[in-house]
A and B are shown apart, each in its own frame.
Chain A
């Protein structure tokens, strides 16, 4: 059976947006179009408290149907992985809950099942998580304050592809940075099943002080759409290539 493809945007940032529309609103729109928005907020090591700007992290993921987490950069690898997998489970569980409502009646969720029966349902969710295809568009904030964090972000992303490629389902990743030179986002790495090759192209330079998170998410959603169009134009060879 051909399983559906899960689509995610993974936003990695260290601060608050300061340009363009409200990112929580664009995230909500993305979610409406079947794309989950996850957000990771990176804290500076010296910070003892959570800066106010990072409240936005929760808001974006909240309206984007995704997962958010705020971490110190040392923990980034594990977090990126955990957030992505949790969001997959969450999305799949959403599907399963819808199905359950058909069976159990409206308003019923997994929590209304006895713990014993829940296990069987979770097994289905787990199977789907293992086998479904996944597309992750990574959106990296490269505004000036991110400068000393980009190396860690790169490693975390390579690590993410190691984890996800251990699954049975297929993966595709792409990386965009924001703000872009002229547009709101610039492509760093085109759709590909692996991220090992990202080392050479990953940005080291940061750009300016503006953080147009809202427009960046909007553009990312557009990129998902564009890819779908392209794919239907191209022939099967392209898809086969992704299988490797």
Chain B
């Protein structure tokens, strides 16, 4: 969005030092990690450890995000949102007051570039991981809301997909707080903006579709038809086609239902693939592709076994 000058106020340069008004913690800004509709996110340090600091002039929006992070933190073994470290106000040299919060730095790379480098096989792994996280989140009475490719980070060792930005996270039954058009079922005229698990599952399907269509596509005069056709047309999505179509049509009421279908679909694909993958081609690039593919499959296998064995 074309923001007016208001947002620029919370833009900081590397080296800037921020002292909290209430808790007196001192944070030195190292570099910018990202920016969005609400404000800016910077890399900083807290007690020597890297941390992410989000600052905004829209204090109320930040306060609501803090509420969500605090409530998610009560979940055991929380990975449903970055860990919250501090909340405070900063009085800028010009006398204005900005609210900021400091959270765990989720170090990793953007999911799109990860897929480009490591192969589309990883999509299955991430899909299952996200379905697990969504399941937990929904159990807690929340819907993530603004699930989109830009809010997903892949961490290394172990390779895991995680979401940041809980700005859209909404209590089940309420109106979705924040969304992004391409991932929003209301925009595709395929459902309401009420916070329910199906809302997230639609957005999740769009995340996967976005991986096959990095440049996305227009909705056209018949959004639903466009969407379904594009799912069917993309060969990388073949494995997940039925699941994705069911998800965008709102036929899954819970993440678990969808996960069951995804597990079966991957299973079926593995069985079909098994004999032919032995005939390797002499072509080197293809060789590499198969190699990285098999690594992903091992990861997937591990992941699946960890699910079956409690």
Using a CB–CB distance below 8 Å, which chain A residues touch chain B? 43, 69-72, 75, 77-79, 82, 89, 93, 110-111, 114-116, 118-119, 122-123, 125-126, 130, 159, 162-168
Is the CB of B297 closer than 8 A to any CB of chain A? no
Q: Which of A77, A126, A162 contacts B193 (CB 8 A)?
A: A162
* Chain B neighbourhood of A119, CB < 8 A: 63, 66-67, 70
**Interface range on chain B (Cβ under 8 Å from partner):** 20 to 34
Q: Which residues of A contact B2 (CB under 8 A)?
A: 43, 70-72, 75
Q: How far is the CB of B181 from chain A (nearest CB, A)?
A: 7
Verify B89–A167 contact, CB threshold 8 A.
no
With A166-B174, A166-B194 given, can you name 4 additional A-B contacts, CB distance below 8 Å? Answer: A72-B2, A75-B1, A115-B63, A162-B193
Some 21 contacts from A to B, beta carbons below 8 A apart, are A70-B4, A71-B1, A72-B2, A75-B2, A82-B37, A89-B60, A93-B60, A110-B59, A114-B22, A115-B89, A122-B63, A130-B174, A163-B176, A165-B192, A166-B175, A166-B176, A166-B186, A166-B192, A166-B194, A167-B174, A167-B175
The answer, among A69, A114, A162, A164, for a CB contact under 8 Å with B4, is: A69
Say whether chain A's binding surface is mostly helix, strand, loop, or mixed: helix
Beyond A119-B63, A122-B63, A122-B64, is A162–B1 a contact (Cβ under 8 Å)? no
Contacts of B97 in A (CB 8 A): 111
Contact for B59 among A77, A111, A126, A166, CB less than 8 A: A111
A115-B175 in contact (CB<8A): no
| Set A71, A75, A162: member contacting B186, Cβ < 8 A | A162
Q: A72-B2, A166-B194 are in contact. Are A123 and B88 (CB under 8 A)?
A: no
Residues 212-223 of chain B, each 1 if its beta carbon lies under 8 Å from chain A, else 0: 000000000000
Contact indicator B174/A162 (Cβ below 8 Å):
no
Residue of B nearest to A121 (CB): B63
* Also in contact, A163 and B175, with CB within 8 A (given A115-B22, A122-B63, A123-B67): yes
Q: Which B160-216 residues sit within 8 Å CB-CB of chain A?
A: 173-176, 181, 186-187, 192-195
Q: Which residues of A contact B127 (CB under 8 A)?
A: none
- B: which residues have CB within 8 A of A? 1-2, 4, 22, 37, 59-60, 63-64, 66-67, 70, 87-89, 97, 99, 173-176, 181, 186-187, 192-195
Task: Tally A-B pairs: CB < 8 A.
Answer: 69
Distance in angstroms between the alpha carbons of A130 and B64 in the assembled complex: 14
Query: Could you tell me if B174 and A168 are in contact, using CB atoms closer than 8 angstroms?
Result: yes
Closest 10 CB pairs of A and B: A166-B175, A166-B193, A115-B87, A167-B175, A166-B194, A122-B63, A162-B186, A119-B67, A130-B174, A118-B63
Q: How far is the CB of A221 from chain B (nearest CB, A)?
A: 27
User: Cβ of A168 and Cβ of B60 under 8 Å apart?
Assistant: no
Q: Which residues on the A side are within 8 Å of B37 (C-beta)?
A: 82
Q: Quote the shortest CB–CB distance from B196 to chain A (angstroms).
A: 10
Q: How far is the CA of A20 from the CA of B229 in the complex (A)?
A: 53
A78 to B3, CA, bound (A): 12
B174 in contact with A159 (CB, 8 Å): no
Smallest distance from the beta carbon of A112 to chain B beta carbons, Å? 10
Q: Which residues of B contact A126 (CB under 8 A)?
A: 64
Chain A neighbourhood of B174, CB < 8 A: 130, 166-168
Residues of chain A within 8 A (CB-CB) of B70 are 119
Known contacts A115-B89, A125-B60: A163-B67 contact under CB 8 Å? no
Q: Chain A: which residue is nearest B64 at the CB level?
A: A122
Q: How far is the CB of A139 from chain B (nearest CB, A)?
A: 21
User: In angstroms, how far is the closest chain A Cβ from the Cβ of B77?
Assistant: 23
**Contact across chains for B87 and A116 when beta carbons are under 8 A apart:** yes
In the complex, which residues of chain B have a beta carbon less than 8 angstroms from the beta carbon of A75?
1-2
Q: Are A164 and B175 in contact (CB under 8 A)?
A: yes
